[in-house]
Chains A and B, each alone.
Chain A
Amino acid sequence: MLLTGAEIVIRCLQEEKVDYLFGYPGGSVLYIYDELFKQDKVRHVLVRHEQAAIHAADGYARSTDKVGVALVTSGPGATNAVTGIATAYCDSIPLVVISGQVPSAAIGQDAFQEVDTVGITRPCVKHNFLIRDVRDIASTIKKAFYLARTGRPGPVLVDIPKDITAQKCAFEYPQTVSMRSYNPVVKGHQGQIKKALQLLLEAKRPMIYAGGGVVLGDASEKLTALVRKLGFPCTNTLMGLGGYPATDRQFVGMLGMHGNYEANMGMHYCDVLLAVGARFDDRVIGSPAHFASEPRKIIHIDIDPSSISKRVKVDVPIVGDVGEVLGEMLAMLDGAPERPDQDSLAVWWKQIDEWRRRDCLKFNQGEELIKPQYVVQKLWEVTGGDAFVTSDVGQHQMWAAQYYKFDKPRRWINSGGLGTMGFGLPAAMGVQLAHPGSQVACVTGEASIQMNIQELATCKQFRLPIKVVMLNNRYLGMVRQWQEIFHGNRYSESYMDSLPDFSRLAEAYGHVGIRVDKPDDVEGALREAFSRKSDLVFLDFQVDQTENVYPMVQGGKGLTDMILSAEDL
Chain B
Amino acid sequence: MKIQNDTHMRHVISLVLENEAGALSRVSGLFSARGYNIESLTVAPTEDASLSRMTIVTSGSDDIVEQITKQLNKLVEVVKVVDLSESAHVERELMLVKVRATGKEREEMKRMADIFRGRIIDVTDTTYVIELTGTQAKLDSFVGAIDAGLILETVRSGICGVGRGDRVLKV
Determine whether A181 belongs to the interface, using a CB cutoff of 8 Å to chain B: yes
Grouping DSSP codes into helix (H, G, I), strand (E, B) and loop, the B interface class, with mixed when no group exceeds half, is helix
B22 touches A126 (CB 8 A): no
A150 to B130, CA, bound (A): 52
CB-based contact A182/B71 at 8 Å? no
Q: Which residues of A contact B171 (CB under 8 A)?
A: 180
Interface residues of A, Cβ cutoff 8 Å to B: 118-119, 122-123, 126-127, 130, 147, 179-182, 304-306, 309-310
Contact of B26 among A122, A147, A179, A305 (CB under 8 A): A122
- Contact assessment for A118 and B66 in the assembled complex, using a CB-CB cutoff below 8 Å: no
Q: Is the CB of B74 within 8 A of A306?
A: yes
Supplied contacts A181-B76, A181-B78, 12 more A-B pairs, CB within 8 Å = A118-B22, A122-B22, A122-B29, A123-B29, A123-B33, A127-B77, A180-B171, A181-B77, A182-B76, A306-B70, A309-B63, A310-B67
B124 beta carbon closer than 8 Å to chain A: no
- Is the pair A147, B70 in contact by a Cβ cutoff of 8 Å? no
Which among B21, B73, B74, B77 has the highest number of chain A CB atoms within 10 Å? B74
Measured between alpha carbons, how far is A304 from B66 in the docked complex, in Å?
13
Among B76, B77, B78, the one with the most A-chain Cβ atoms within 10 Å of its Cβ is B76
Kindly provide the distance from the CB of B94 to the nearest chain A CB, expressed in whole angstroms: 28
Q: Cβ of B18 < 8 Å from any Cβ of A?
A: yes
- Give chain B nearest CB distance to A374 CB in angstroms: 43
Whether B5 is near chain A, meaning CB under 8 Å from some CB there, is no
Contact B76 A179 (CB under 8 A): yes
Cβ-defined contact, A130 with B22, below 8 A: yes
Chain B residues near A147 (CB-CB < 8 A): 76
Cβ-based interface call for B41 (8 A)? no
A182 cross-chain contacts in B, Cβ below 8 A: 76
Inter-subunit contact A305/B70 (CB<8 Å): yes
Residues of A within 8 A of B25 (CB): 119, 122
Task: Tell yes or no: B113 within 8 A of A by CB.
Answer: no
Q: Tell me if B79 counts as interface (CB < 8 A to partner A).
A: yes
Minimum distance in angstroms from B104 CB to a CB of chain A: 52
6 CB < 8 A contacts A-B: A122-B26, A130-B21, A180-B79, A182-B76, A305-B74, A306-B67
Residues of B within 8 A of A122 (CB): 22, 25-26, 29
Residues of B within 8 A of A130 (CB): 21-22
Query: Which residue in chain A gives the minimum CB-CB distance to B171?
Result: A180
